[in-house]
């Protein structure tokens, strides 16, 4: 697994997490990522899947900026355009977007789910980190998972207690990848 391209992109995924995503991508053909920011995890998926990656995010500058004070401060001071983060994402995934392997969907999770007619064999949730949003994303997107598919997400850690509680409440049989904050569960049926 070559993670060089993903590691060049800003983000919070560590090497072990990116490696796990890449390994999963190599055996899944329809991947949905909820929350992509600048595309670090998207790149790990796209570089290793034989199939397609659908990335859902609003790519708004300010919500991402609260997690990265330097980016947020620069964005305010430089009056960056509203689509600044989206443009960075597109630059980071340009070759995959142009080839049709990555499909950015610039909508809220709810809007995208309401309009989605596709089914996925891997769904990765890493958007908003409050209890209600995580619980909602698990509920609305698990209905788009093929039987036997993998439902997973990021930030299952004490730093994000709302994520942990939402995942535990919705998926008591979930597992956590050792050495990471990635949770996952195989879903037998929809």
Mean pLDDT for the stretch of residues 160-184:
97
What domains are defined for the chain?
4-187 (3.40.50.150)
Q: Beta strands 120-125 and 30-34: pairing type?
A: parallel
Global pTM exceeds 0.75: yes
Residue 82's pLDDT band (cuts 50, 70, 90): confident
**pLDDT tens for residues 21-74?**
999 999 999 999 999 999 999 999 999 999 999 999 999 865 444 455 455 555
What span, in angstroms and rounded, lies between the C-alpha atoms of 17 and 19? 5
> 3-state SS of the chain: helix, strand, coil percent to 5?
45, 20, 35
Tokens of 44: 């790990």
């Amino acid at each position: 697994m070559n993670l060089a391209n993903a590691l060049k992109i800003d983000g919070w995924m560590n090497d072990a997490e990116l490696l796990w995503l890449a390994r999963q991508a190599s055996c899944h053909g329809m991947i949905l990522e909820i929350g992509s920011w600048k595309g670090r995890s998207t790149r790990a998926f796209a570089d290793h899947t034989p199939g397609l990656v659908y990335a859902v995010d609003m790519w708004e500058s300010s919500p991402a900026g609260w997690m990265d004070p330097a980016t947020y401060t620069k964005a305010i001071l430089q009056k960056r355009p509203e689509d600044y983060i989206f443009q960075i994402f597109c630059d980071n995934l340009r070759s995959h977007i142009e080839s049709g392997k990555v499909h950015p969907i610039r909508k809220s999770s709810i809007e995208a789910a309401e309009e989605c007619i596709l089914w996925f064999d891997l769904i990765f949730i890493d958007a908003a980190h409050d209890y209600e949003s995580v619980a909602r994303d698990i509920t609305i997107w698990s209905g788009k998972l093929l039987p036997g598919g993998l439902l997973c997400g990021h930030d299952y850690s004490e730093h994000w207690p709302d994520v942990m509680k939402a995942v535990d409440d919705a998926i008591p049989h979930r597992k956590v990848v050792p050495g990471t904050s990635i949770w996952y569960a195989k879903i037998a049926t929809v």
